[in-house]
Amino acid sequence: MSFTFFEALIVGILYYLAYCEFSIPFIGAGWQDPVTIGFLIGLVYGDVKTGLVVGASIGMMYISNIAVGGNLPSDGVLAACVTVPISIKFGLDATTAVAFSIPFAVLGTFVDNGRRLVNGMWNRRAVTHVENEQYKKLWVDAILGPSVVSMLFRIVPLTLLLWLFGGAAGDIVSQLPAWLSNGLSVIGGMLPGLGLVLCVNFMGKKELLPYFLVGFYAITLGKVSIVFVALIGVCLAFLHVQFSASRFEEDDEEDYEEEYEEDDTSQSIYGDGCAFKSKGHLYWWGFKFCCFFRISQCLEYFYGTGIGYMMLEPLKRVYQENREGYKTAILRHLQPFITNPSWGAALVTGSIAMEEDIAKHGDPSGEKGEAIQTFKTSLMGPLAGIGDSFEGSIMMPLFKSICYPLALAGNVLGAFPYVLWFGWMTIVALFMDKLGYEQGRKGIAKLINSPIVNKVLYGAGVLGIMMMGALSASYVSLNIKIGWETSMGATDVASIVNGLIPSFFTLLFLGICYLLLSKGKSFVKVLIGVVIFGLLGSLIGIV
């Protein structure tokens, strides 16, 4: 049994579309999850249920796959693109499929880094085009060119891989010896726990770890649903924040008010001579910004090329006939810049407001232009810290924790966790667009220091850790087979231990993973340890 070229090509195209960015949130990054890809491949291959189950099983391992600094830590989408069609064609069970997917998740990081390495040339071309006032060519540098690069890096290799070698790989996996097949199944049962524990480690709140046990044993002993655990988690989060009120006392505003007590030139209005005609115009531009600014992401300039391109429209309204000022401004925004895409949106619109001041009052010394760069670089770290922590470590896993159980049960409603997440992120981005443009630096500083934001983050941490515990109890498995025969009968160590502490060995595995990750051990090393344990344990018969 093998893959036709058309079957392989469809999967390659889906892999490209998952990362195409230009249609965030509804098509592009809305597909950027193994369960969504599994569902779509299932539609193409005629087995939606297997696509959902295998996709969600793989996704559980990458439930908190945060691209810190734009670096993709592992590519669950590529793992699903290879594993789901092979599972459908050759009948692999979900746990075996998870173990089989590991190398492809690692390979995907090299694919993404190769794409971003090549994309550096588009920024250099963009600078040349701006210097020559060839602004219409920037869409090639920011959108068309990087999109073609992404196609070449994603569609072509994956299509050839499945077409030429997919059938052979499926035959090999389906004919594995019993001990190796069991070992892969054991590994597949453990790996979701590694992903869930990694998420808990990202949250970084050790004092909240007891809530992990609450969620774990609510499922193990209470036999309640994930949704019910979420409702209880919301109540406990509210109570925890209320009883910890002293840690959220209002910060003294003098520090940041003194820092910005000078005339805040980044505050602005709407209308003629301004970047935006109205709030509606700002929101529409902000939505387009979400769709396009990351297509040209590269290793050297990060989001610089895309941001420079998206600045063409608003800054043209600002500088109007001032050709030199317009050119200088666009070049300024082609410089390296990276932060959280949603929360950091305020820095982009805030800098637009500062450009308005330059256009109106001039900048003969160049200090105002330097102030824009300082404004962006000094605040992109704090906003990335808040955004990545809240969105990547809490909100994204929460949306997935709602969708994955549905997908594992074969329900298509569980196929779209990223659509929910990116819809949420778009709302946040539009709010931050307005905040940055209307209130500037002072408004951003107040937000960062707001006790309300801290309360929300802390409460969401309680809920998030509790949900990770509930998911661990539901979808992580480790069965130890240690026992002996005597004249008195058989002794099963696992049964005795689990009678004292239910699911002890699963909890022990999760605890060891958390301890290693919290001590700074790399995810890859811990993953290799899990693979070795699963294979050796199966070989000697203890798992």
* Residue of higher predicted confidence among 434 and 385: 434
**Token pair listed for 397:** 């896993």
Higher pLDDT, 292 or 27: 292
Per-residue pLDDT band for 259 (boundaries 50, 70, 90) equals very low
Question: What is the C-alpha separation between 193 and 98, in angstroms, rounded?
Answer: 12
> Regarding predicted confidence, which is higher, 290 or 321?
321
Helices 323-333, 367-387: crossing angle, 10 deg rounding: 30
| Angle separating helix axes 76-90 and 48-61, nearest 10 degrees | 140
DSSP-assigned states of every residue in 226-262: HHHHHHHHHHHHHHHHHHTGGGGPPPPTHHHHHHT-S
**Which two three-digit tokens encode residue 221?**
């002993």
- pLDDT at 338 > cutoff 60: yes
CA distance 320 to 59: 49
Q: Is the pLDDT of residue 452 over 90?
A: no
Using one digit for the tens of pLDDT, what is the confidence trace for 435-444? Answer: 999 887 677 7
Q: Categorize the per-residue pLDDT at 263 as very low, low, confident or very high, splitting at 50, 70 and 90.
A: very low
With b meaning 16 or more CB within 10 Å and e meaning fewer, what string describes 402-416? bbbbbbbeeeeebbb
Distance, CA of 32 to CA of 15 (rounded, Å)? 9
- What is the pLDDT confidence band of residue 256, given thresholds at 50, 70 and 90? very low
- φ/ψ of 490, rounded to 5, equals -85, 140
User: What is the value of pTM for the model shown?
Assistant: 0.83
C-alpha 302/C-alpha 325 separation (Å) is: 24
DSSP 343-402: TTHHHHHHHHHHHHHHHHH--TTSHHHHHHHHHHHHHHHHHHHHHIIIIIIIIHHHHHHH
Q: Which amino acid is at 120?
A: G
Could you give the CA distance from residue 110 to residue 98 in angstroms, rounded to a whole number? 20
pLDDT band for position 26 (cuts 50, 70, 90): very low
Say how many residues make up the chain.
543
What is the mean predicted confidence (pLDDT) over 143-171? Answer: 93
Dump pLDDT digits (tens) for 404-417.
999 999 999 899 88
| pLDDT bucket at 454, cuts 50 / 70 / 90 | confident
Q: What is the model's pLDDT at position 329?
A: 97
Confidence of residue 364 (pLDDT cuts 50, 70, 90): confident
Average pLDDT, integer, range 53-66: 88
pLDDT for the residue 89: 93
What is the C-alpha separation between 14 and 211, in angstroms, rounded? Answer: 38
